[in-house]
A = this chain, B = another copy of it.
Amino acid sequence: MDNIRIIEVKRSIFDDNNKDADLLRAELKAKGVFLLNLMSSPGSGKTTTLIRTINMLKSDLGIAVMEADIDSDVDAKKILAATGVQSVQLHTGGMCHLDADMTRQGIAGLDLDGVDLVILENVGNLVCPAEFDTGAAKNCMILSVPEGDDKPLKYPLMFSVCDLVLINKMDVAPYFDFDLEKCKEYILRRNPNAEVIPVSAKTGEGMEKFAEWLKRQVKTQKEGE
């Protein structure tokens, strides 16, 4: 189970990342593949969230995962061991984000036959990944309760580029001063179109909603072809 493919992604040679991202988005759509870009701080629970979500969806959808990290392969191994789905590790060589070309290098390492949904777990960082369109069809971020309800005020770009915000670790909410309504208000102030789903990837609370959201996105993209 430990046979993880590691791809050392190279710095992009394209001047216009936005154009390249649009191109990748169109290519993936034509192949019937929905790409989700999942972002968050380090330690907000991206990998745990992915594992539970994949296990809820893998009988309905063909799923593959790209795990971006500075230089470990901890996450891709975890994903493969816990879900059995195709998983590659992208090493960014110290870079703090992925752009569209780096994402394309990762996609090239996947076998897309039968795959409906590719999830890119971006580098844990609330700043840089928000600045680069990866070519994903949708952006999702995870904010976890222990990080605090004021994060949308402090990392505004991240919240404004995300279609969906998962508020994770709701199971520990009683032990933190986290005001969910205030947090939602801050998010919507940055991004009136954002959807917000409170979840606990650990207990499963709210995860059905996220799985439904994903199924709906994949279906909508396919129907739009």
Contact = CB atoms under 8 A, between A and B. Distances in A.
A131 B43 contact: no
B128 A70 contact: no
B157 A172 contact: no
A180 to B, nearest CB: 15
Interface string A129-153: 0010000000000001011101101
Q: Which one of A44, A125, A171 has the greatest number of beta carbons of chain B within 10 Å? A: A125
Contact of A146 (B94, B126, B156, B169): B169
A154 B41 contact: no
Interface magnitude class on chain A: 35 or more
A151 B74 contact: no
A144 B96 CA distance: 20
Given A96-B125, A125-B125, A144-B146, A70 B175 contact: no
A124 interface: yes
A70 B144 contact: no
A126 B124 contact: yes
A123 interface: yes
A213 interface: no
Contact of A128 (B71, B74, B96): B96
Nearest to A75: B154
A153 B124 CA distance: 13
Interface string A162-194: 000000010110011000000000000000000
Interface string A55-78: 000000000000001111011000
Given A71-B156, A96-B127, 6 more contacts: A42-B147, A70-B154, A70-B157, A96-B96, A96-B125, A125-B125
Q: Which 3 A-B pairs have the closest CB atoms?
A: A43-B147, A146-B146, A96-B127
Interface of A: 41-44, 69-72, 74-75, 94, 96, 123-128, 131, 144, 146-148, 150-151, 153-157, 169, 171-172, 175-176
11 contacts: A42-B151, A42-B154, A42-B155, A70-B127, A72-B156, A74-B153, A96-B127, A124-B154, A124-B155, A171-B175, A172-B175
